[in-house]
Structure formats: C-alpha cells, structure tokens
Structure 1
Amino acid sequence: MRGLWIAAVAAFGVDQLSKLIVVFGLNLKEVLILPVLPPFLVFRMGWNEGINFGLFSGAGARWGLVALAVGISILLWRWARGFDRPVARVAAGLVIGGALANALDRVLYGAVADFLNMSCCGIRNPFAFNLADVFIFAGAAGLVIWGETEKKKTP
C-alpha cells in the first residue's frame, strides 16, 4: 500500500504546487493568458465549477462534487487494498491524489483551477486542464491496464 500513498501524496502535492506557482505566483488569475510555447502550451486561466468541460456546474454542484471525489477516493482505496500488482496500487494513488487535489480547489476557491491549454497541428483546443486531471487520466488508464477485476479463488 506504500506505493498507493506515495503516488497519492505526490500527485496531490505536484498539482497544488503547480497551481500555487502558475495561478498565484505568475498571477495567471489576473493576466488570464501566458504564452509559454504557443500554440503547443499556453497557460490559460479557467475556473471549472463542474466536471469535464464544465458539465454539472451550477448551484449546489460544488459540495456534491467534493463529496463525490472523497467518496470515490475511499472506494478506490478499499478496492486497491486487494491488488497484487504494485503498479495498480500506484495507478489508484494517482487517481486518488488528483481527485482530492481538485476537491481541495473546490473547497478553497469554489471551482477547480485549470490553466494548461495545448493545441497542435492546426487544431485549436479551447479547453484548459490541470495536472490533477493528468494524474486522474493516467491513473484511470493504469487501472484499466493493470487493475484486477476478478476475485482470487481460494483453494
């Protein structure tokens, strides 16, 4: 279980540190756009009150989404206790750390701070995301690949 906790704390910490540096340290919350390597990487401030692409935003969603993130994290932690593969536990930790980092944003700011915007090859991406979203996606992919779905048969 150590891998799960290390991955969760690392994902949570890296995400929150990146937000402190970019959103507050570079004052992105006021300047709104900072070209880094345009168009491949632009810091573009966005406050997401919902889930992906702003779905389920609106009155009352904030605390429901915080509760949902905490509840899913607890269920995922309980599920991961039975994993044999350390990489599956790390994947679960990435999801948990990312989910709790975004939940903390909702508690502190009322919305999730998104700032990464990437475009390529003539396709302009209007959406922003954050490192917690990257960790959640990577962890979910890892759970699909390495997560264990069958109960072990006892002899």
Structure 2
Amino acid sequence: MFFYILTLVVVLIDQGSKWWVRTFMEVGEHRSVLAPYLHFEYYQNSGAAFSSFQGYGKWFAYLALIVVGGLIYYRIKGKISGKLMELAAGLLAGGALGNAFDRLFYGKVTDFIVWGSGSGIMNIADLAINAGVLLFIIGMLLRNWRDKRSSYSFK
C-alpha cells in the first residue's frame, strides 16, 4: 500500500508545483528562492532530459507508462520488496507519472527548479525519478551484498 500512496503523493506534489508555476510565472521568468543556491525559472520542455529529443515528448510518456506498469508487475511478483525498494519504486513511479501527465495533457513538461549557477533545469518529478533510481541502485547493491554474505558458510 505504501508504494501506491507514495506514488500518488509524488504526483500530487509534482502537479501542484507545476500548476503554481504555470499560474503565477511567465515562461522564461526567474524567481530567486535561496540565492545563490536555488532559483525558479519557468521552462517548457517538449523533449526529454537536457532538452534532448525536442518534439518527441509523447513517446516518453508512453515509455513512462510502460515503466510504471513494469514496477507494478514486479511488485506483484514479489521482486520489489522491502522498505527501501518500495520507497524507490514509489518515487520512480510518481515521478514518471507526473511527467507523463504533462506530456500527454500539455504536450510538454513544465520545468522550473535550477540549482546553483544553472547547470540544468528540472521539476519535482525529475527529483523523484533521480532519487528513486539512486535508491534502487543502493537497494540492489545491499541485496547483492547480503546474498553474498549469507552464501558463505562458516564451519
């Protein structure tokens, strides 16, 4: 149940923050939040990460739906289990659905978070996806380490 609740919470926070940006900012507008570490800049991305594949955003929406379907399938099969992996899956699914929603209903993703001097621009969904992937990697490494430890027998 945690997976589904977390997925929903991520989607709601992501969509709420994007609604705020679309409502109260103009495209290209900057707003300082925690200068010089964080500012908002409204950008519309019709492609993928780093503005690659401009105009092909809908294909990434379909890919996101396949990824979320895979996460649900592997959860049901018991391949994604444990608190860390549930957290990772919920963040990844919520982020993927948040950006897929934008791509399907608006034709582009609303980005607005810029860290530091502006090496890239992202949104809450992107942060959730990155955190989910990182936690998946940590979870798989921990699982592999535990499996190796338990396979040794000391007599």
**Residues 74-126 of structure 1: CA distance to partner in whole angstroms, max 9, x if unpaired?**
1122123313312211210110010010011112221110001110xxxx224
Number of aligned residue pairs: give it. Answer: 141
- Equivalent position amino acid for 2:18 in 1: K
Could you say which residue in structure 2 is the equivalent of 1:62?
57
Q: What TM-score, normalized by structure 1, do the two folds share?
A: 0.82
Structure with the larger helix share? 2
1 CA distance for matches of 2:40 and 2:71? 31
The alignment-based identity, stated in percent, is 31
* Partner-residue secondary structure (3-state), 1:29: coil
Task: Compute the RMSD of aligned alpha carbons.
Answer: 1.9
Gaps of at least 5 residues in structure 1 are none
Q: Tell me the distance in 2 between the aligned counterparts of 1:30 and 1:45.
A: 5
CA distance in 2, matches of 1:62, 1:22: 20
Instruction: List structure 1 segments (4+ residues) > 3 angstroms apart after TM superposition.
Output: none
Q: Unpaired runs of 5+ in structure 2?
A: 148-155
1:7 paired residue number: 6
Are the equivalent residues in 1 in contact too, given 2:14–2:124 (CA < 8 A)?
Answer: yes
SS of residue in 2 equivalent to 1:43: strand
Whose Rg is larger? 2
Taking structure 2 as the reference length, the TM-score comes to 0.82
Say whether 1:146 aligns with 2:146: no
Match of 2:73 in 1: 78
The aligned amino acid for 1:102 is N
